[in-house]
Every structure is written in structure tokens, then in C-alpha cells.
Amino acid sequence: MIRIVFLGTGAGSPSLSRWALSTAIVYDSLIGLLDCGEGCQIRLQQRGISPLKIRFVAVTHLHGDHVIGLLPLLQTMTLFNRKDMLEIIGPKDLKDLVELFMKISRHKTSFNIIYKDPLEKISYNDKIFIKGFETCHTIESYGYLIEIKYKKDLFKICFTGDTGPCENVVMNCKDVDILIHDATFLSEHRDEASASGHSTVEDAAKTALEANVKKLYLTHISSRYNDEKKILGEAKKVFKESYLANDLDEIIIF
């Protein structure tokens, strides 16, 4: 079975219902994580996903709500005596972050970590292909295009992480089956969205329309909003095939 699991769908400040950002791509026993915000390993447990089977972690950028969950996840993998190599894809400073943490906590992983450039196209078992592209945020930041090969089909997913409205996202997410897009704010907080390098729900829907994607999933939702109908309504006005991602939701692809 191939599925997308939304582990966390919250923004900078998580809430009880929306934890920090993290999404899993599960292709039978081949598993990849897109971002790993605070608490992601607990969400993995809740969905029965073993940390030992995670083959790669692709981090969009180094804001805490996207990466801080990686450090305790690496510790857990070591406690479980993981031996398989792990690939970590992300900005260059990510290696420094992990290594500094290992150094000051006098910790050593039980497995090798290989760090990968986000702009390199990487294949996993000729089943999952991933390649990053730059997004429009306040620091170095990447979205990821994931192609999933199953029999004769090629299913495409685009995951933006944090971004304001961004021509590079439209270009790289052209015609994908599923676009998972930053939708931190409602239009009433448009100024705040621009100032912080984020998108409104409407921005995300416009990107989906321009990129001609099949389905849009809104994520990275600010904890200040609890009216889901309002969020979805704003998106559907622009792009009909809009859906709101919630923590622990799953999409079965094949």
C-alpha cells in the first residue's frame, strides 16, 4: 500500500489538534519523512510507522517547527539499535545542527547518516524519486517534488514547506497529482502572511490553479483558526479540488 500520512499540520505555534509540521510517505516498508517538527516521533507511533524503516528525512528549512523533532527521532533510532544508513536531505546547515547536538549531548548514532543536497534528484529503490526546489520564505528553504512509481503509473506529490506565493513553486509543481501547500493564514491576515514569508489559503489555491494540479491539500495552518469551513471555503472559491489536511489523516494513493 502507498499512502501519505499527515503527522503534523500546524504552523509555528502548535496546538493540541495541530502539531508541528511533518508528513510521511509510506510505500510498503519504504518510508520517507517530509519535515520532522516537534513530536513527529509520537505521531509516527500513533500511525504504527517504525522509525527503523525510515529511509530518508527531507527537511524544507531550519525553522524549529520543521526540524526540531528530528533530534529525538535520531536518539530513538539509536535506542532501537538501528544499523541501516539514514539519508537526510536539507539545507547545508542541517548537518551542523545535528552534529552540534550530537557533540554537546555526548551522543553517537548507532548508524551512519548521509547528508544530501536538496537540489539533487535521488531515487529510493527505483520506487520513490525526490528532488527539491527553492521556495520563497524568509530563510533558505526548499519544497520537494516526489514521484512515486507504481507498476506503469507515476504519481506526483509536491510539498512546499513554508512559502509565500512563489513562481518557482508553480513551475516545479506543474500538473502534479497532489500539492501540499503552506496555508498559514486567512485573507484577513494577508499582511502578516507577506511579512512572514507565508501564504494565505487563497494564495495556496491560486498556486494550485496556476500549476494545474489535481488536488490541493492545505497544511501549516495557524493555531488561531478553528473554523475549518471558513478555511476550506476560502480555498474552494478559487480552486474546487481543495482539501484541508488534519493531523493523522491518510491519503491512500495505490
Catalytic residue numbers, as ranges:
65
From the CB of residue 88, how many other CB atoms can be counted at a distance below 10 Å? Answer: 19
Toward Zn ion, which CB reaches closer, 68 or 128? 68
**Which position among 35, 38, 87, 162 is part of the footprint of Zn ion (CB under 5 A)?**
162
Cβ 9 to Zn ion shortest distance, Å:
11
How many chain residues are in contact with Zn ion, going by CB under 5 A? Answer: 3
Cβ 91 to Zn ion shortest distance, Å:
12
Cβ 217 to Zn ion shortest distance, Å:
16
Burial class (CB in 10 A: 0-12, 13-18, 19+), 171: exposed
Q: Which of 155, 160, 105 is nearest to 136 (CA)?
A: 160
Cβ 111 to Zn ion shortest distance, Å:
28
Stretch that binds Zn ion, among 1-9, 84-92, 97-105, 159-167 (CB under 5 A): 159-167
Q: Which of 193, 209, 203, 205 is nearest to 235 (CA)?
A: 205
Toward Zn ion, which CB reaches closer, 55 or 63? 63
Would you give the DSSP letter of residue 200? B
Toward Zn ion, which CB reaches closer, 18 or 63? 63
Residue of minimal CB distance from Zn ion? 63
Site mask, Zn ion, residues 35-74, x = CB under 5 A? ----------------------------x-x---------
Strands (DSSP E) along the chain, which ranges?
2-8, 22-27, 30-36, 54-58, 86-89, 113-116, 122-124, 128-134, 142-150, 153-159, 178-182, 215-219, 242-244, 250-252
Q: Which residues bind Zn ion (CB under 5 A)?
A: 63, 65, 162
